[in-house]
């Protein structure tokens, strides 16, 4: 019995209906930090003590904050992490003693690319001054030397290697934007292959402000600048035989932006996958069925299959980040399928094995559901 919910109403709450394979661990620092232990006892419902988080970052104790996050359920973990990330970035930190506000920011780029011949988009940006001028023109940042922006692309792995307390200490130590970015990040090219893929890269920067003036619009929505900025990069990178689409995201704190950009990249990859297979099945054998499942190795798996010709099947994997809220991911997927007019959607509400015999990844298919009487 797979524990199937047929035709489930995704507009209702189903947090308790879907198993979560990720574990919540006990907070091992309760004796040292009773205030945090007390806050955890309230399931994170009260605002986090930002002054205490800053103190932990200042002392280089990222492991305490990591343990705090690991002791929370996913939904509360994400909310707490946003507050922690804002402090690490400097976007949620009070003005320093010298009157300056130093913020580390990033512009995430979601890049969809494919090419008839393999091609490498170089990490070194061909004309960063032109990009900066466009952002200044649209009021995203000012033209002063209080704002510095990198001329290279970096990837999520490179940013993720730096601990949050190091980010925090870096913005405390920075006095001038012209010092450049406080870390030597490894530039990351984009390898474009024949199959269209989604890539994530970042342009990082730093801004030094005071209380009287905002010099970079960190945290605002992508405005009218998003389309021309993406088109500018496409023009600089485009080669014959290449399909290329660049989607810049809003300026964000460099720590906060890592999770949000990862989620967006997976979402775009999911849309590309699903729209392609839905179209192919409809052109050949009619409307598809969709199976959504969660697995013991912390993955959401999506199976899209034809009921009329069951060997027509494709599969997608969403690796779960510790901060992913599973019902929210399912809700996003269901909304997309609904917009594509797919109504045959099956949600399996219990956690399934990651593999079957000989270590083969387990993707439930329609044959596995036959005879199950759970509705």
pLDDT on residue 8: 47
Query: Are residue 247 and residue 155 in the same domain, yes or no?
Result: yes
Residue 266 near residue 156, CB atoms below 8 Å: no
Q: 194, 223, 254 — which closes off a domain?
A: 254
What angle, rounded to 10 degrees, do the helices at 62-70 and 164-173 form? 140
Domain containing residue 321: 4-19+271-369
Residue 24 lies in a domain: no
Grouping H, G, I as helix, E, B as strand and the rest as coil, residue 301 is strand
Residue 93 lies in a domain: no
The answer to whether residue 152 is domain-embedded is yes
My answer on whether 241 and 195 are in the same domain is yes
250 and 353 housed in the same domain: no
223 DSSP β-pair partners: none
What pLDDT sits at residue 210?
77
Q: 79 lies in a domain?
A: yes
Q: Tell me, yes or no, whether 76 lies in a domain.
A: yes
Q: Are residues 63 and 127 in the same domain?
A: no
Structural domains counted in the chain: 3
Q: 250 and 317: one domain? A: no
Tell me, yes or no, whether 221 and 247 share the same domain.
yes
For residue 258, give the 3-state DSSP assignment.
helix
Query: Is the alpha carbon torsion for 223, 150, 115, 277 positive or negative?
Result: negative
| Helix, strand and coil in the chain, % to nearest 5 | 35, 25, 40
114 and 160 assigned to the same domain:
yes
Tell me: do 115 and 211 sit in the same domain: yes
Same-domain check for residues 15 and 46: no
Same-domain pairing of 102 and 233: yes
Query: Same domain for 61 and 159?
Result: no
Residue 266 belongs to some domain of the structure? no
Residue 230 and residue 280 in contact, taking contact as beta carbons nearer than 8 Å: no
Question: Phi/psi of residue 328, each to 5°?
Answer: -70, -40
What phi, psi does 74 have (nearest 5°)? -55, -45
pTM of the entire structure?
Answer: 0.88
pLDDT tens readout for residues 118-136: 999 999 999 999 999 999 9
Distance CA 91, CA 206 (A): 11
Does the residue 112 lie in any domain? yes
Considering 198, 223, 254, which residue would you say is the last residue of a domain?
Answer: 254
Given 88, 109, 134, the domain boundary residue is 88
* Ranges under pLDDT 70 in the chain: 1-17, 43-44, 92-96, 370-375
Say if 121 falls within a structural domain: yes
**pLDDT at res. 279:** 93
Same domain, yes or no: 10 and 47: no
From the list 266, 272, 141, the residue with the least C-alpha distance to 203 is: 141
């Amino acid at each position: 019995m797979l524990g199937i919910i047929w035709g489930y109403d995704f507009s209702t709450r189903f947090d308790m209906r879907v198993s979560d394979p990720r574990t919540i661990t006990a907070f091992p620092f309760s004796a040292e930090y009773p205030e945090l232990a007390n806050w955890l006892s309230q399931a994170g419902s009260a605002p986090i003590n930002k002054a205490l988080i800053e103190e932990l970052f200042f002392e280089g104790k990222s492991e305490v904050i990591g343990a705090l996050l690991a002791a929370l359920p996913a939904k509360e973990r994400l909310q707490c992490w946003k507050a922690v990330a804002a402090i690490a970035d400097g976007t949620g930190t009070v003005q320093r003693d010298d009157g300056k506000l130093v913020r580390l920011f990033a512009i995430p780029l979601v890049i969809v690319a494919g090419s008839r011949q393999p091609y490498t988009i170089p990490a070194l940006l061909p004309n960063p001054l032109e990009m900066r001028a466009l952002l200044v023109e649209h009021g995203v940042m000012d033209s002063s030397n209080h704002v510095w922006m990198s001329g290279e692309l970096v990837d999520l792995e490179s940013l993720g290697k730096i601990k949050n307390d190091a980010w925090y200490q870096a913005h405390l130590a920075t006095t001038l934007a012209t010092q450049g970015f406080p870390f030597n990040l490894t530039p990351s090219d984009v390898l474009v292959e024949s199959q269209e893929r989604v890539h994530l890269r970042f342009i990082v920067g730093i801004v030094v402000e005071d209380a009287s003036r905002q010099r970079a619009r960190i945290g605002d929505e992508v405005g009218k600048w998003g389309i021309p900025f993406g088109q500018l990069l496409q023009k600089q990178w485009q080669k014959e035989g290449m399909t290329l689409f660049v989607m810049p995201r809003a300026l964000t704190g460099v720590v906060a932006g890592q999770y949000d950009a990862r989620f967006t990249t997976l979402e775009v990859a999911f849309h590309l996958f699903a729209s392609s297979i839905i179209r192919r099945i409809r052109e050949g054998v009619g409307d598809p069925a969709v199976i959504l499942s969660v697995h013991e190795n912390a993955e959401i798996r999506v199976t899209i299959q034809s009921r009329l010709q069951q060997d027509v099947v494709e599969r997608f994997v969403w690796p779960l980040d510790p901060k992913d809220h599973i019902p929210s991911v399912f809700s996003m997927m269901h909304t997309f399928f609904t917009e594509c007019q797919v109504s045959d959607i099956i949600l399996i509400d219990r956690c399934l094995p990651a593999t079957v015999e000989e270590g083969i990844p387990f993707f439930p298919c329609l044959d596995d559901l036959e005879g199950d009487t759970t509705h």
